[in-house]
Chains A and B, each alone.
Chain A
Amino acid sequence: MTDEPLLRVTALSKYYGSRIGCEDISFDLWPGEVLAIVGESGSGKTTLLNCLATRLLPTSGTASYRMRDGQWRDLYRMSEAERRFLMRTDWGFVHQNPADGLRMTVSAGANVGERLMAVGDRHYGNIRSTAVDWLSRVEIGEERIDDEPRAFSGGMRQRLQIARNLVTGPRLVFMDEPTGGLDVSVQARLLDLLRGLVTDLGLAAIVVTHDLAVARLLSQRMMVMKNGHVVEAGLTDRVLDDPRAPYTQLLVSSILQV
């Protein structure tokens, strides 16, 4: 384990006019660490995620990222081209709705292969065999490689989106409600798969979720957000077993026992 973080976020704020999106957020993320951001709709968690992934520009504050060559770069001072390159190679972004992260009218294999071509892979045979390998890692059979995601179920689409994101060996993956629209049995399978992949690949990930069980299963650390602020942060099991902020206590006590 290295002794430097991968991402450093300092006093990040985003306002929509006079309305707060998120305010004064600071944290470090370390290689291999999974951070969950939880909170209800409108708490600012997705705004924060989008700022971190540079899909939105914050109003103030900084986020620095340690590149593969060890250089620290300010994410909001990079050129558009550099940012795009980072997003295509070293980062992944898993959307809640797979249709937002996939190209629905090209084949499953091409969805995975496209990211590889973006990093310079040109050999068709290699691309196809890597695609087959990744589809099998997300439990999609080789016989489906030429099908379009339109013909896939919701759970399969989400697994395909994950394969598309991970094929380039990113170091940091952003996930926005990755199990959001899925029914529970499909959710469990996806979570288990994600957990395995994150551990095996040593990925760092920032996972936005409103589901505390998802946070418990995937993350080591969590931040609880309300009205754009972090109301509690710490080790995931500490926050869930001994919640201290009034809002966290409300969240934890609202879970239905099965």
Chain B
Amino acid sequence: MATPLIVSEVAKAFTMHLRDGIRLPVVSNVSFSVRAGECAVLGGPSGAGKSSILKMVYGNYGVDQGQIIVDHHGQLVDLATANPRTVLAVRRDTIGYVSQFLRTVPRVSALDVVAEPLVARGVARDEAHARAAELLGRLNLPERLWSLPPATFSGGEQQRVNIARGFITDHPVLLLDEPTASLDATNREVVISLIEEKKLKGVALLGIFHDADVREAVADRIVDVTEFAAGKIAA
């Protein structure tokens, strides 16, 4: 089986056209890979470019240079150059993402938010709802909230909805952007065990965890992002 995710010599800078075209280098020469069943953690201080790397892998930041290769249904796809339609297909079937914040849609219930990625992949609504309910239950989200839109939920509640939405599918690659930032100790434990289960199923995980306890518990390897500091070679 091919390595699920390979990042090779990726570089990224922001050009701020509204500020006289200032160029802000973010990272350069980013190279690492994530194997099946492994959790790699991006390490480094705030501003080092961890989130930018995660967003490039998910395709919501553009890539200036290099390649991001994923194994999509046995075919190798370079996300740095893939067209939008391919990126969408990769997101539906291959790369899952737990973002830091939930982008809520008015009037859609928490249960539907969580079930949506399964429904999008053709799973029957009832079955998707059952799996969503199971995950929300595990994450201790009170059942009376399931039928409500998450817009008014607390930070921790929204984050649990987000986690359930990210973990519900069996995507072979899963990206985690600080999934435990606003959780209490009990729910952090739940997330740790969810991650362990993903590893056992052979999922390749790439994450950012500021919480040292969680990082210790889940990381098989730390990818030091300061190695890829864009100014490094020049400085």
Measured CB to CB, the residues of A under 8 A from B are 30, 33, 188-189, 191-192, 195, 217, 220-221, 234-235, 237-238, 241-242, 244-246, 249-250, 253
- Asked if A220 meets B88 with Cβ closer than 8 Å, knowing A238-B62, A249-B18, the reply is yes
Q: Is the CB of B106 within 8 A of A189?
A: yes
Q: Nearest residue in B to A188 (C-beta to C-beta)?
A: B106
User: Which residue, A217, A237, A244, has most C-beta atoms of chain B within 10 A?
Assistant: A237
Q: Which of B66-114 contact A (CB under 8 A)?
A: 84-85, 87-88, 105-108
Contacts of B15 in A (CB 8 A): 244
Q: Is the CB of A217 within 8 A of B18?
A: no
Contacts of B186 in A (CB 8 A): none
B171 within 8 A of A: no
Contacts of A234 in B (CB 8 A): 62, 84
Min C-beta distance of A34 to chain B, whole Å: 11
Q: Nearest residue in A to B82 (C-beta to C-beta)?
A: A235
Q: Is the CB of A217 within 8 A of B84?
A: no
Q: Is the CB of A253 within 8 A of B105?
A: no
Q: How many A-B residue pairs have CB under 8 A?
A: 49
- Classify chain B's interface size: 10 to 19
- Asked if A237 meets B60 with Cβ closer than 8 Å, knowing A220-B84, A249-B17, A250-B18, the reply is yes
B4 within 8 A of A: no
Min C-beta distance of A62 to chain B, whole Å: 21
Min C-beta distance of A226 to chain B, whole Å: 13
- Asked if A249 meets B60 with Cβ closer than 8 Å, knowing A192-B105, A192-B108, A235-B84, the reply is no
B188 within 8 A of A: no
Q: 19 A-B pairs, CB-CB below 8 angstroms? A: A188-B106, A189-B106, A189-B107, A192-B107, A217-B105, A220-B88, A234-B84, A235-B59, A235-B84, A238-B61, A238-B84, A238-B87, A242-B14, A242-B55, A242-B62, A246-B17, A249-B18, A250-B17, A253-B18
Q: Is the CB of A244 within 8 A of B106?
A: no
Min C-beta distance of A190 to chain B, whole Å: 10
Q: Nearest residue in B to A254 (C-beta to C-beta)?
A: B18
User: Which residue, A33, A191, A241, A242, has most C-beta atoms of chain B within 10 A?
Assistant: A242
Contacts of A242 in B (CB 8 A): 14, 55, 60-62
Q: Is the CB of B105 within 8 A of A235?
A: no
Q: Which of B107-138 contact A (CB under 8 A)?
A: 107-108
- Which secondary structure dominates where chain B touches chain A? mixed
Q: Which of B36-57 contact A (CB under 8 A)?
A: 55
Q: Is the CB of B16 within 8 A of A235?
A: no
Q: Nearest residue in B to A220 (C-beta to C-beta)?
A: B88
Task: Determine which of A30, A241, A245 lies in contact with B61 in the assembled complex, contact meaning CB atoms within 8 Å.
Answer: A241
Q: Is the CB of B105 within 8 A of A241?
A: no
Min C-beta distance of B15 to chain A, whole Å: 7
Q: Nearest residue in A to B106 (C-beta to C-beta)?
A: A188
**What are the nearest 8 A-B pairs in CB distance?**
A246-B17, A235-B84, A188-B106, A242-B61, A237-B60, A192-B107, A241-B60, A221-B84
Q: Which of B146-202 contact A (CB under 8 A)?
A: none
Contacts of B61 in A (CB 8 A): 238, 241-242
Contacts of B60 in A (CB 8 A): 235, 237-238, 241-242
Min C-beta distance of B183 to chain A, whole Å: 25
What 1/0 mask marks residues of chain B from 1 to 37 whose CB sits below 8 Å from any chain A CB?
A: 0000000000000111110000000000000000000
- Asked if A235 meets B88 with Cβ closer than 8 Å, knowing A241-B60, A242-B61, A249-B16, the reply is yes
Min C-beta distance of B30 to chain A, whole Å: 16
Contacts of A245 in B (CB 8 A): 17
Min C-beta distance of B54 to chain A, whole Å: 12
Contacts of A249 in B (CB 8 A): 16-18
Q: Nearest residue in A to B112 (C-beta to C-beta)?
A: A196
Contacts of B87 in A (CB 8 A): 235, 238
Q: Nearest residue in A to B64 (C-beta to C-beta)?
A: A244
